[in-house]
Amino acid sequence: MAIQSTKQDYLRNSHLFQGMLIVWILFIPLKNTLYHISVISMILMFVYHVIQFQTYKILGAILTQTRGLFIGFGIIMLSMLISSLLGINPLQNLVDLLKFFYRFVAVLFILFYFYHQKFFSRKFLVTIILVTLTLYALDGLYQYITHYDLIFHKPLEKGGLIGPTFSRNIFGLFMAGYASLLFYSIATYKITEHPFLLKSIFTGLFALSLFLLFHSLSRASWLAFATFSILYTLFNAKQIFLSKKNLLFLGLLIIGTFTIFYFSPTLIHRFDSLIQGQDSNRFIIWKRTFDLVKNSLWFGYGVDSSITLLKISVMHVHNMILEIALYLGIFGIIGYAVLLGSVYKTIYIIKQYHYAFFLTSYLILLQFDGSLVNSKLHVSIFIVYLWFIYSHIIDKTIAPNHTQKMES
């Protein structure tokens, strides 16, 4: 009879993966060396753990449970391969394909795997995100007061807050996500210990997030938060309007928003420009992009072709759909449609509709700023959204006792 023993899981006991996960979340906004180190480290830890415990069946189970998601990613990567071979910069585009795989697709699967192995929980990841966004918010507040951020001593950008990030649009994106998460938390989270204190802290942070969001002057981020809050309010109208506390919170939100704008001529001017449809040259970019798309309809020109083809100083097209069409053609559009179709279907299956509100507000923002093809920042955020949604599916693959005795 073979001697039974339990293999020591050094990776679990050392909490190394949890540490790298914290680093990854913390430095997504900065896209710096620590971000890249965390990605490579998580991949190496994954390979080590799978080989150490030979959990190949678990990999198959996860892939089966999330097959719609990864079929979409597969079509996208195939379209990237074809557009690379037919595009204007084949060698660089093949490198972009490799980066897309290991930075995003592989990392998402790795997060599924370690969640399945109970290395971390949804509550753990939400806590990391809240702490990260709070730190960035406090830095943004410091910048508002001193005109320089605390971490990198970055000055205000054209009057809009940027915090330690690279632009007001990026900072606004994170403050929109922060405000949306706090809005949802205040509306739904049931606090059993010290409810008044914690609710007060959450409300104070929510007020701060709104203040910083508006003063980022990022209109796309304003629109994203407005989309989330309106969708959530309409979907939960009965619950909200039957609760005096929720009505009070909603009323304070509206009054606070008007107050912030009333005392800031800059915000009023920025809002007027949004209403009047001032586009910051986006219409010109979109028209040129549309004309180019018609000439290479099926497979596009390859990733980052906008830099060469548009002949203007922009990194991205500033419209998710047009950029996918330019880079990957209709084939790429189909891949993303399959991916997003699977995501929304999964949201319907798990009945967690607030994820649809978060994701929809994010996709609306991407119609004006950012990239869902090759932006380390925006695709990483997208990966986090996908993880939260599909973690509910992964729950179904977790055995009651996942720690098994293994033969020595």
- Return the number of other C-beta atoms located less than 10 Å from residue 245's C-beta: 11
Separation CA 225–CA 182 (nearest Å) = 11
- Counting runs of H as helices and runs of E as strands, what totals does the chain give? 19, 2
In the structure encoding, which two tokens stand for residue 256, read together? Answer: 């606070």
More confident residue, 209 or 2: 209
- DSSP letter for 8, please: -
Token duo for residue 379: 């695709």
pLDDT in tens, 114-158: 999 999 999 999 999 999 999 999 999 999 999 999 988 888 877
* pLDDT given at position 213: 95
pLDDT digits (tens, 9 = 90+) for 78-115: 999 999 999 888 999 999 999 999 999 999 999 999 99
Rounded Cα distance between 61 and 67, Å, is 10
For the chain, what percent of residues have pLDDT higher than 90? 64
Q: What is the pLDDT of residue 261?
A: 79
pLDDT in tens, 259-303: 887 778 778 877 777 676 666 678 888 888 888 998 889 999 989
Among residues 140, 298, 288, which one has the least CA distance to residue 214?
A: 140
Q: How far apart are CA 12 and CA 242, in angstroms?
A: 46
User: What is the pLDDT, as a whole number, of residue 405?
Assistant: 36
The residue whose two tokens read 């959990």 is 55
Calculate what percentage of the chain has a pLDDT beyond 70. 91
Place 402 in a pLDDT band, splitting at 50, 70 and 90: very low
**Which pLDDT belongs to residue 313?**
54
User: Is the predicted pLDDT of residue 309 greater than 70, yes or no?
Assistant: yes
Nearest Cα to 25, choosing from 158, 134, 118, 116? Answer: 134
Which residues, including other chains, have CB under 8 Å from residue 387's CB and lie 6 or more apart? 108, 111, 112, 115, 125
**Domain boundary assignment for the chain:** 11-54, 67-397
Tokens of residue 224, six digits: 């994203």
Contact status, residue 209 vs residue 215, Cβ threshold 8 Å? no
- For residue range 319-370, what is the model confidence (pLDDT) as tens digits? 999 999 999 999 999 999 999 999 999 999 999 999 999 999 999 999 998 8
CA angle 276/277/283 to nearest 5° reads 155
Q: Is 73 exposed, middle or buried (0-12, 13-18, 19+ CB in 10 A)?
A: buried
- The percent helix, strand, coil of the chain (3-state, each to 5) is 75, 0, 25
